[in-house]
Amino acid sequence: MEYFAQQMVNGVTLGSVYGLIAIGYTMVYGIIGMINFAHGDIFMISTFISLITFIALLSIGITWIPLALLIVLIISMAMTAVYGWTVERLAYRPLRASFRLAPLITAIGMSIVLQNYVQIVQGARVKPLPPIIKGSYTLMEKNGFTVQISNMQILIILTTIILMLAFSALISKTSLGRCQRACEQDQTMAALLGINVDRTISLTFIMGASLASVAGLMYLLYYGVIDFYIGFVVGIKAFTAAVLGGIGSLPGAMLGGLIIGLVETFWSAYFSIEYKDVAAFSILIIVLIFMPSGLLDKPEVEKV
Amino acid sequence: MDRTSEKQQSSLMKNALIEALISAAIALALSIFMIGLRTSTATGGLVLTYRIPLVASLVTLVFFGRLAFNLFWWSRSTVHTKGPKRRGTRKKQLGTGVLSLPRVSLFLVFSLPIILFVLNAKLNLGLPLRYWFDIATLVLTYIMLGWGLNIVVGMAGLLDLGYVAFYAVGAYSYALLAQHFGLSFWLCLPLAGLLAACWGALLGFPVLRLRGDYLAIVTLAFGEIIRIILLNWYQFTGGPDGLSGIPRPSFFGLPFKRYGDNTFHLFFGLEYSTLHRILFLYYLILILALITNAITNKVRCLPIGRAWEALREDEIACRSLGINTVNTKLTAFATGAMFGGFAGSFFATRQGFISPESFTFIESAIILAIVVLGGLGSQIGVVIASIVMIGGFELIRNMAWLKLVFGQDFDPSLYRMLLFGMAMVTIMVWKPRGFISRREPTVFLKETAL
């Protein structure tokens, strides 16, 4: 039971990170209906920017951790947003009116570019970062086994909840959210009504990239090691989460992230760590057999 | 020069300058942290090295590049026509006459290697033939894979991101069958194809109801599952060590060995050369690929091929016309997978060693890129895209002269994949419908003479 509770805590933490990245996939899919394959690599870039900024701050003498982290977060969000915007501008916008597979191929191409770019400019070795946020609370203690939640885990879960609430409000309450929903339904009509479609789509990419950069910072602080390849693995998981929850749905992305995170953690804890990815993907396939459009998506009725 | 045009000229210049400045600013933002500061491991943690000159030169390059681009390129093509050109106006007579392009190139790919081989041996030209044949074989392998995937993606319109799984199934089938049961390559080839086809059908079942991008992620997941199983099932697949010592193919029972009683060179009274096997492998994959093409072209005109193409265009219309979409999808997956399996067993016998590392997602992505860049559903497009993307980038790996330009530390193979990705993006933006965007309709409406 205690072991179970501990794994629950770990799984929810992992799921939160996946959920944050999954939102980026789901928002882009919702608005232009394409799989942004480069999103995982945007996440990877954000971890690198965070790491570099953090070390740079330490080297110029800013050692008070909360301030340093705040600066890192702001810089990382801004720079990653520039990357997200650039990818959209270079690889997706020229193909907006093209057929479905064209942007998918440019997205895969961009993903290859970003991975190799980071490998070239930062080297292929893993980059370690010593743990920065330490300390933990004991939730319960029984039979000599303690269930702990670390400060880092609390930070991750809290940040995710706050960002989720903020984003839901942004989509449902603000004019930008209204523009996004309008573009989602009908781009031509939205343009006729005076919405700048290109700008809205760019902003969507910027928002997705910023969220990914928050997830990137969390990932960096939680795991402490990054390399140029993490974007692929984490990206695929997050994308799986987005599809599992019903791609295009914000709560779905979060739910999918939690499910994937929990499945992975419990499978590693109780069965075998080697096959945790197989477990996550199998859950996806099984769910899609019975609910072909994910958990929270309303079934699309195709009309002729 | 009159006033207005002068004014236009200056405003053009001003706009170009502003845009170039914006581009330079973005380039600065992109590169300042990632390129300007390099983390490297040292005692006591990571340290930063500064590379400000590199960033500065990059930003300057972007600034002047964008400026030149705006002034000399865009200003001229402001009235360029957007939208597709009219199709069907150019009539290329590709398929007629004895000296038509396909026939000539077919003749060349068959005869050129052997001519080169003989010339090289007789005249001592010293050409790096082994290298050329290896590249040609590699390109042909990708052509075959591309044609196999073209059935699934190009004809049936089912987006498959895990095609490499079938390639892996074929390779491992051959390796395991040959090692454990001692079966010959020629017996294993159909078996491997059959097994891959079964796996294709197996993948087909859960995805029958899925559409579009849901299908993509499930096939991707399937490919990853196969790879992870290959990686971790140590007793059966050798895990990350892979399988080595896979039997080489023989020429209808005559092995390509230097010593032995009944070897290829003794039988034909030739002098032993390692090139014999390379040449044989080249012809083997050439014939396999041509069989793939022939079958695809044939099936296209059969009811099942028509059903695939109809499915691609409109699934609901298909169902209302009484086409069994379940069977149609399953056969498309199984047929495509079968060719992947053939290519896989060829790969295993050529390499003599396989490991899960050869079957990562990036391979699936490359094959899909070949199909889409070539022009979805176009057989010739796959050939062009394979030559450009695989052959071209294989050449970059060995360009020694680049070292003279960029210095001795420059490693061209490091930049290969970077350029590959850039090429994928550039070609797609330049030709969104692929190299060959014209589709040959398989059915014509007979027009009566007026």
Q: Residue B203, Cβ neighbours under 10 Å: how many?
A: 25
The pLDDT, as a whole number, for residue B87 is 46
Whether the CB of B212 is below 8 Å from some CB of chain A: the reply is yes
Give me B431's structure tokens: 């030709």
Q: Which residues contact B254 (CB under 8 A, 6 or more apart)?
A: B262, B263, B264, B267
Surface of B (222-281) touching A: CB under 8 A: 222, 224-225, 228-229, 231-232
Nearest by CB to residue A52, choosing from B30, B39, B218, is B39
Q: Identify the domain containing residue A14 by its residue range.
A: 2-229
Q: Which residues of A touch B369 (CB under 8 A)?
A: 105, 108-109
Q: A175-185 and A2-32 are packed helices; what angle lies between their axes, rounded to 10 degrees?
A: 70
Q: Do A35 and B30 touch (CB under 8 A)?
A: no
Distance from CA of B216 to the nearest CA of A (A): 9
ipTM of the complex: 0.86
The helix/strand/coil state of B434 is coil
Closest residue in chain A to residue B214, using alpha carbons only: A243
Q: Do B213 and A49 touch (CB under 8 A)?
A: no
Q: Which residues of A touch B393 (CB under 8 A)?
A: none
| CA-only gyration radius of chain B, Å | 26
- B303, B158 Cβ separation under 8 angstroms: no
What is the distance between the alpha carbons of residues B356 and A166, in angstroms, rounded to a whole number? 43
Q: Residue A278, Cβ neighbours under 10 Å: how many?
A: 20
Q: Look at chain A and report how many structural domains it folds into.
A: 1
Q: Residue B348, Cβ neighbours under 10 Å: how many?
A: 29
Instruction: Write the DSSP assignment of A171-185 as a string of letters.
Output: HHHSHHHHHHHHHHH
Give me B5's structure tokens: 């045009």
Q: How far is CA B176 from the centre of its chain?
A: 26
Q: Residue A174, Cβ neighbours under 10 Å: how many?
A: 11
Distance from CA of B160 to the nearest CA of A (A): 11
Q: Which residues contact A157 (CB under 8 A, 6 or more apart)?
A: A12, A13, A16
The pLDDT, as a whole number, for residue A216 is 93
What is the distance between the alpha carbons of residues B59 and B72, in angstroms, rounded to a whole number? 20
Q: Which residues of A touch B418 (CB under 8 A)?
A: 112-113, 116-117, 120
Q: Do B34 and A52 touch (CB under 8 A)?
A: yes
What is the distance between the alpha carbons of residues A84 and A63, in angstroms, rounded to a whole number? 30
What is the distance between the alpha carbons of residues B393 and B402, in angstroms, rounded to a whole number? 14
Q: How far is CA B192 from the centre of its chain?
A: 21
Backbone angles phi, psi at B353, to 5 degrees: -150, 130
Q: A230-245 and A276-290 are packed helices; what angle lies between their axes, rounded to 10 degrees?
A: 30
Asked whether the CA dihedral B259, B262, B264, B267 is positive or negative, the reply is: positive
Asked whether the CA dihedral B225, A116, A34, A172 is positive or negative, the reply is: positive
The pLDDT, as a whole number, for residue A33 is 81
Q: Do B45 and A128 touch (CB under 8 A)?
A: yes
Domain membership of residue A11 (yes or no) is yes
- B293, B148 Cβ separation under 8 angstroms: no
Q: Do A112 and B33 touch (CB under 8 A)?
A: no
* Nearest CA-CA partner of B88 in B450, B448, B440, B442: B440
Give me A193's structure tokens: 């009504």
Distance from CA of A138 to the nearest CA of B (A): 30
Q: Which residues of A touch B374 (CB under 8 A)?
A: none
Instruction: List, for residues B327-370, the tens digit of each pLDDT value.
Output: 899 999 999 999 999 999 999 988 888 999 889 898 999 999 99
Residue written as token pair 């009309």: A303
What is the distance between the alpha carbons of residues A103 and B432, in angstroms, rounded to a whole number? 9
Q: Do B211 and A282 touch (CB under 8 A)?
A: no
Q: Do B38 and A90 touch (CB under 8 A)?
A: no
Domain membership of residue A236 (yes or no) is no
- Burial-class residue B314 by CB neighbours within 10 Å (0-12, 13-18, 19+): middle
Distance from CA of A49 to the nearest CA of B (A): 6
For B362, the enclosing helix (H) or strand (E) is helix B361-374
CA angle B343, B349, B355 (to 5 degrees): 85
* Nearest CA-CA partner of B248 in B258, B239, B238: B258
* Nearest CA-CA partner of A99 in B153, B93, B341: B153
Distance from CA of A285 to the nearest CA of B (A): 6
For A1, the enclosing helix (H) or strand (E) is none
Which residues of chain A fall short of a pLDDT of 70? 297-304
What is the distance between the alpha carbons of residues A80 and A125, in angstroms, rounded to a whole number? 22
The pLDDT, as a whole number, for residue B90 is 45
Nearest by CB to residue B418, choosing from A117, A125, A304, is A117
Distance from CA of B390 to the nearest CA of A (A): 14
Pairing of the two strands B353-354 and B243-244: antiparallel
Which residues of chain B fall short of a pLDDT of 70? 1-4, 43-44, 74-99, 126-127, 398-410, 412, 438-450
